[in-house]
Structure 1
């Protein structure tokens, strides 16, 4: 919800309220769910900041975490940190003086604001289907509260997949994170005997809260 309008309250059912104010958002997120779910199993690179990046793996996450890159641990984002993130994941790696020079020039010339936006979107795609409350750029590590550490999440995922599939640690660490999290989600759903929530399901909770506010105060959400 971005803006709030207030008008004399008129009785409106939840279904009508939902269809008018929240259905388009859910449809958009459902399309995103499907795209990101399928994308996890596509082997090709993902274009970020005009560069071909491979899908982040648990091993890559470990490197970025060790470097304390703000896109995975929080903190201040700088142009140098943007370049660091991209250098870890660009395919092929910028090895050799000529490739490094070309890479640095490209990153320096690319819009800093666009770089942050595109990397954030990439990270969201990689953590799709996970239960990690991933850190947004600009968050301070001291304000992370009880958010799970990404590496502890990865270790539990590796254990879960290894025990259910027989895959080795090496195999799992080299898989795309988005794929790893989907496998774990499938295992959890099988054990629970019910599907888990997706991004689009959260819209229903938002709508229930907004409908309750409207019935109490007349506030209308502007989506």
Structure 2
């Protein structure tokens, strides 16, 4: 049996490969026609400090969409007048639900290759002594000699590929999960059934 005969699996693998390669090409993202940067640890920290419900949960209001798009916009500045113009011209006309859906899809793309978070044991509390940004900066400074700015301005799609590559180099038996695995998992029983009846 050839796994590539599973309906949609070949396309899912190609989409993954294309997405991973595109991460290194600095191709801009668009949400409802609005150009935004690829997510970096620095931009994530700004959104986190702004308590964006896209990261913290809770109800999402139109101003949260505007906040998200403004922070990720190539036009972003600390000038309140520039922000007001951006919100009025760019964000105000956006349809609410398609914008929310597009932002959520964007975030799924940004974290598609992120390694699984460590599993917390029930009843075990472990205080945090550093942020994920510090973890990434330390990792890349140790591994590649990169500065804080280089590490914080690197896109997450690149970061996760490098982190996964390091994991594999340190442990060739490490388990990795691809988005395409779901297509394979769902199609495998059907392929096995076809093989059994042929």
TM range (shorter): 0.7 to 0.9
Q: Give the superposed CA RMSD.
A: 2.9
Return the TM-score normalized by structure 1.
Answer: 0.68
1:198 to 178, 184, 191: 178
Corresponding residue number in structure 2 for 1:127: 111
1:104 counterpart = 2:84: no
Task: Kindly state the Cα deviation for residue 34 of structure 1 after the two structures are TM-superposed.
Answer: 1.5
Q: In the alignment, what sits opposite 1:42? A: 25
In structure 2, distance between residues paired with 1:44 and 1:204: 29
Deviations 1:72-95 (A, max 9, x none): 222211111111111100112264
Aligned partner of 1:168 in structure 2 is 147
- Displacement of 1:152 in angstroms is 4.3
- The count of residues paired between Structure 1 and Structure 2 equals 179
2:47 and 2:82 map into 1 onto residues whose CA distance is 24
Assess, with a 3 A threshold, how the Cα gap between structure 1 residues 75 and 96 changes in structure 2: closer, same or farther.
Answer: closer
Partner of 1:78: 61
Deviations 1:154-212 (A, max 9, x none): 4333322221111122210111111111111111111112573311123334456x66x
Q: Is contact 2:41–2:156 with CA below 8 Å preserved after alignment?
A: yes
1:186 aligns with 2:169: no
TM-score (norm 2): 0.76
Give the 4+ runs in structure 1 shifted more than 3 A.
151-155, 202-208
SS in 2 for 1:24: coil
Q: Deviations over 1:134-171 (max 9, x none)?
A: xxxxxxxxxxxx9xx9x844433332222111112221
Q: Using a 3 Å threshold, how does the CA distance of structure 1 residues 96 and 71 change in structure 2: closer, same or farther?
A: closer
Structure 2 contact 65–100 (Cα < 8 Å) conserved: yes
Runs of at least 5 residues in structure 2 that lack an aligned partner in the other structure: 118-124, 194-198
Instruction: List gaps (5 residues or longer) in structure 1.
Output: 1-14, 134-145, 215-223
